[in-house]
Each structure stands twice: as structure tokens, then as C-alpha cells.
Amino acid sequence: MAGSSRAAAHVAVCTAAAHSHISPLLGVVTELTRRGHRVSYVTTEEFAPLVRSAGATPVLLHSSLPTDPADWPREVHRLPLLYLDDARTTLPELARSLEGDRPDLVLTEDPAGAGSVLAAAWHIPVTQVWTYTASPTHWSLAEPGSPGANPVGGEFLAGLDAFLAEHGVRGGARAHLSARLAGGLVLTPRLFQPGGAELGPDFTFAGPALPPLPTPAPDGWSPPPADGRPLALVTLGSIDTAHPEFFKTVAEGFAGTEWRAVLAVGDRIDPAELGPLPDGVTAHRWVPQRAVLDRASLAVHHGGMATVMECLHHGVTSLVVPRLREQAGNARRLAELGLGGALPLRAVSPDAVRAAVARLHSDAGVRARVGAVREEIRGFRGAEAAADAVERGLATS
């Protein structure tokens, strides 16, 4: 086994405190701890049990980011400034937590985040990890007015310059970002990466690094009967879920069909709000998503990368109803690769859902391609390959 002779090390993992950012790392954390490494996972109290379940020790921070989606700025281009402010707020607390037990390597998502800046200040190696598609060029480095440039890019770079200088990191924001984004660990398959063939060996495409499914299924979950009817999962992820009309409309789309459908509506909706559901359709605040996908043929979802990768890992076709730009990008990529389809949010109706589900499920080519990608992903040894990449980073420390 790769890494078996590597001396035990201390790895700190820094990601956004959200299911969609933590869940893709759990397989990597599980494998690192299995190999004898200690993993400190920087997160909030809400996610402490989740990271403990993978064998990591939570390092708890008090994030300044909004917990209610309604409180996030509507101007999406300003989000990097919000994240930068949060990094400034949390770095002193993070430094105090790790000062007496400094990690040998930091595995971080955000090149401008508290973990990345603290690692630079402490001269600790960093492995950049992408739970989405990799980008060797940060949007803030684009010239103002050029394609891909963020209108607040100049403000962001000036803020990051000051943040780095405050903690004794020389070279400035552009150099810091360029160094961080020059390679790293990508938890998507290379085929899903636009221009993936152009990214060199400094990028490790491990694919989804998911932990094994728990056996038996988690307590409190009763799966639908295995009666030969095809199964669909319907979900909007873990954050922006308070859309009862969406779930009612999709449920009606399965009425009178051969399908069973499991609706995961989130904790902002009481399933009773949806009223009587068609035969074969059930609604739950929470479901063990991967356990459902392991039996499903199709998923109707928002297009978040974590859900996209879990679907591909389990060989499940995606019907994406995107709400955000990045979700629309994922939907386009699935369509380009012949792995699913999409419905614009404004076009969602029972008839449109019913027709799209029937079209995708009856397309033998789509099913064959999804199955082939599933086998390719399984061949990557996702969690093991990701842990190998982390150990290569440790070798430079």
C-alpha cells in the first residue's frame, strides 16, 4: 500500500463549513487516519460529529459567514470579499488552536483562506484541494474588464495583500495565489475537467474520494422496497432547500409512472407541507444520500459538484435543475459528456419532469456512458490516490 512506510504526520484540513465541501474530503481523511496519520479538521461545531466519524479531530472555529442562505449577498461577485473577511476573523483563533501542535501539512480549498495564509506565515507545506474543477488561474488575477475578471478583483487583491503582510508573508497576493494554484489534488475525474488534458502532472485527478458505505444503513432510515420499480432521488443539496413548490412539482412529475422517488427536502421544510404525495413518492427531511444513490437509476438535483460526483460514483444519471451559475456549468458539462440532462428552473413542470425522466432513462447511450464513467472512477482508487498525493506533499516538508 502506498504510504505505508511513511512516518506518521499531522495534517490539518481547512474547507468551508458545509456538507458539500466536507463530504468530498471524508474518504481522504478516513484513509489518512487508517495509515496512521493524525488529521485535524478545521470546522464549526455543527460539523464536528461528521469529521469525527472519519477519524479526524475537530478544530472548532467561529465563522462569521451567514448560516441562512437568505442572508448571503445577492451580488455573487462580492462573495470572495465575504470569504476574505471571514479568513481575517478566524485566523487568530486558528493560530491559537494549532500553535502548540503545528501540522506538518495543510490541505486547503481556499488559496486565500485562513489555513492557507497561516501555513505561509508558519512556512508549512500546503496541498491545494479542489472539490470542484481545478483552476490554475485565480479569477482575481485577470485584468479588469477581461473575460472572467471579477469587478471586485482589485479590491480583493488589495485586501489579500494587506492580510498577508499583516502576518509577515512576503511577495504579495498575486505570487501567493499563483503558487497555491500551480498544482494540487482534484477530487473530480480528469474527463469532467474542461481542458483537463492541458493540466500537467502537478495536478492529481483522484476523482471522488468517497468513504465506504456504512453497513447496515444508518438508524432511522427505511429504504423503499426492492420491488423492481426504478428509484429516483430528488434533492436540492444541503443549503438552499426551502422550495416546497419545487418538490411538489417534481413529485407530481412521477405520478402515474413506474418510478419510486425519494424526496430529500432538508430541514427547512416539513414534509407534511407537501400534502398528499403520488403513489411511490416519499418525502424526508434527511436521507443517507449515498445509500439511496447506491440503489437509484436517476437523480433530480441542483447540480452541486458533490452531488454530481456522488451520482457518477454510483452510476446514476443526473437530471439537473440548476439555480446558480456553477451548477449550470456542471449541468452543461454533464450534457456535453452525455451523462445527463438539465431543465431550466423556469421550465420545471410535472409534464416537463416526466418527459425528461423518461427520455434519459430510455436512452441506452446515456446509461452506457454513465456506467463506463462509474467503472473509470472506481478504478482511480479515489481515497487511496488522494491520500498518496497528500503523502507526496508531506515528503517535501
Higher pLDDT, 214 or 35: 35
- Is residue 296 a contact partner of residue 360, using CB atoms and an 8 Å limit? no
User: Would the pLDDT of 275 be above 50?
Assistant: yes
State residue 372's pLDDT score. Answer: 97
- For residue 146, count CB atoms less than 10 angstroms from its CB and return exposed for 0-12, middle for 13-18, buried for 19 or more: exposed
Domain ranges of the chain: 10-207+381-394, 231-378
State residue 1's pLDDT score. Answer: 42
Over residues 10-23, mean pLDDT: 92
In the sheet where 260-264 sits, what is the strand order?
Answer: 281-284, 260-264, 231-235, 298-301, 317-320, 340-342
In whole angstroms, how large is the CA radius of gyration of the chain? 21
User: Would the pLDDT of 5 be above 60?
Assistant: no
Helix (H) or strand (E) holding 163: helix 153-166
**Cα distance between residue 226 and residue 246, in whole Å:** 27
3-state secondary structure of 264: strand
Distance from the first to the final alpha carbon of the chain: 21
Angle formed by the axes of helices 114-122 and 153-166, to 10°? 40
Q: Which of 64-68, 250-254, 352-356 bottoms out in mean pLDDT, i.e. has the lowest?
A: 64-68
Q: Which of 70-84, 125-139, 179-193 bottoms out in mean pLDDT, i.e. has the lowest?
A: 70-84
Q: Does domain 231-378 have CATH number 3.30.230.10?
A: no
Q: What is the pLDDT of residues 199-218, one digit of tens each?
A: 999 999 999 999 888 766 66
CA 163 to chain centroid, in Å, comes to 27
Task: Decide whether 10-207+381-394 matches 231-378 in CATH topology.
Answer: yes
Higher pLDDT, 80 or 215: 80
Angle formed by the axes of helices 172-180 and 153-166, to 10°? 90
User: Would the pLDDT of 219 be above 70?
Assistant: no
Return the bridge partners of 14, or none.
42, 108
The proportion of the chain whose per-residue pLDDT surpasses 90, expressed as a percent, equals 74
Architecture of domain 10-207+381-394: 3-Layer(aba) Sandwich (3.40)
State residue 217's pLDDT score. Answer: 65
Q: Which of 6-20, 26-40, 58-72, 324-338 bottoms out in mean pLDDT, i.e. has the lowest?
A: 58-72
Over residues 227-248, mean pLDDT: 90
Over residues 268-293, mean pLDDT: 93
